[in-house]
Copies of this chain bind each other. A is one copy, B any other.
């Protein structure tokens, strides 16, 4: 994944209405949901909703298809997983053992907090 795509994806999701839209669509699954229904659920006026759906679409996080008068939006699951992979890429310099318990998908699950590092000489430090 290119950096610019990741920034676009993150930026698309970093807004309350759009995050709501995206999670709604993630939960809805591949069948998707019509723009109108999304707007009803989230209480957004059509132009505002359309703006946000466009942002998500340009960022590649959703796809759309017309069905009769409705436009059906669906989450782009591939884009989501690519983004997650990008964020965790080469975690801990490849030495995932530095990332504590159940570091399954290359560190993405759960990593140790950086507190108890002190590799050799235990050095006392302040925050």
Contact = CB atoms under 8 A, between A and B. Distances in A.
A119 B67 CA distance: 14
A110 interface: yes
A103 to B, nearest CB: 9
Please give the count of copies of this chain that the complex contains: 2
A100 B32 CA distance: 15
A26 B106 CA distance: 11
Nearest to A103: B77
A108 B85 CA distance: 9
Nearest to A59: B14
Interface of A: 3, 6-7, 10-11, 13-16, 19-20, 22-23, 26-32, 63-67, 74-78, 80-81, 84, 87-93, 95, 98-99, 104-105, 107-114, 117, 119, 123, 125-127
